[in-house]
């Protein structure tokens, strides 16, 4: 048995490292929800994860790296849920839009910390770049779905890509405002509005 595969308390070193990494992500998500991105510190994260700070540097160079890792981790989970919902929905623009938007909103609200992270996604240059990348990716998914569903029709909106990017960016700002309490509507109303907005442009 190699040294890297030796077990301690029933877990290999790789498994223990994975657990520590996950604990740091969870602790960071807690801190962002409590104090914002600016409140993220190595000491605070390690205290929350109940780990020595040497384990922090085992996975991350800085709290900025950790913040991006938390964002990427949550985006990956949300994206997987939304893509699964789209794949399982009927080939209808309204139903697919509702599957994606409804699943995305449910994912955000299922854990209030995720909403806080979205709000904080404009707190640093690196997070803003990640947010822009996410918006671009979701707009691409929207146009791909639109083209697949409208294939064979004589005319497709030549500005479909621009429309999708505008809708996704605007939708993100609207949802962020809603999470801040600046938009006084129910989650159901917000979902209905976003679905109507997207499908009226025939891009999703």
In three state form, how does the secondary structure of 103-153 look? Answer: HHHHHHHHCHHHHHHHHHHHCCHHHHHHHHHHHHHHHHHHHHHHHHHCCCC
pLDDT at 157: 63
Q: Does the structure show a pLDDT above 60 at 156?
A: no
pLDDT at 70: 97
Q: What is the pTM of this model?
A: 0.85
Q: Who has greater pLDDT, 25 or 151?
A: 25
Q: Which helix (H) or strand (E) is 8 found in, with range?
A: strand 7-8
Query: Is the Cβ–Cβ distance between 2 and 28 less than 8 Å?
Result: no
pLDDT at 153: 52
**Lookup: tokens for 49:** 């994860």
Nearest to 150 by CA among 70, 92, 82: 92
Q: Is the dihedral of CA 44, 45, 46, 48 positive or negative?
A: positive
pLDDT at 184: 95
Neighbouring residues of 55: CB distance < 8 A, sequence distance ≥ 6: 20, 24, 46, 49
Q: What value does the mean pLDDT of the chain take? A: 88
Q: What is the pLDDT of residues 159-203, one digit of tens each?
A: 788 888 999 999 999 999 999 999 999 999 999 999 998 887 443
pLDDT at 36: 94
Q: What domains, with CATH codes, occur in the chain?
A: 3-60 (1.10.10.60), 65-200 (1.10.357.10)
Q: What is the pLDDT of residues 81-108, one digit of tens each?
A: 999 999 999 988 889 889 999 999 999 9
């Amino acid at each position: 048995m190699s040294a890297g595969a030796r077990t301690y308390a029933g877990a290999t070193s790789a498994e223990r490292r994975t657990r520590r990494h996950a604990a740091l992500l969870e602790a960071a998500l807690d801190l962002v929800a409590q104090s914002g991105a600016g409140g993220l510190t190595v000491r605070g994260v390690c205290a929350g994860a109940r780990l020595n700070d040497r384990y922090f540097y085992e996975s991350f160079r800085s709290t900025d790296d950790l913040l991006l890792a938390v964002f990427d981790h949550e985006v990956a989970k949300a994206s997987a849920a939304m893509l699964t919902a789209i794949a399982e929905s009927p080939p209808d623009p309204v139903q697919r839009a509702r599957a994606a938007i409804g699943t995305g909103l449910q994912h955000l609200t299922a854990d209030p910390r995720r909403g806080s992270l979205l709000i904080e996604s404009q707190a640093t240059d690196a997070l803003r770049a990640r947010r822009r990348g996410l918006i671009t990716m979701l707009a691409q998914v929207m146009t791909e779905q639109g083209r697949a569903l409208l294939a064979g029709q004589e005319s497709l909106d030549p500005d479909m890509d621009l429309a999708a990017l505008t809708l996704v960016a605007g939708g993100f700002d609207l949802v962020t405002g809603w999470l801040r309490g600046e938009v006084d509507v129910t989650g159901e109303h917000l979902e209905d509005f976003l679905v109507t907005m997207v499908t009226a442009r025939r891009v999703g």
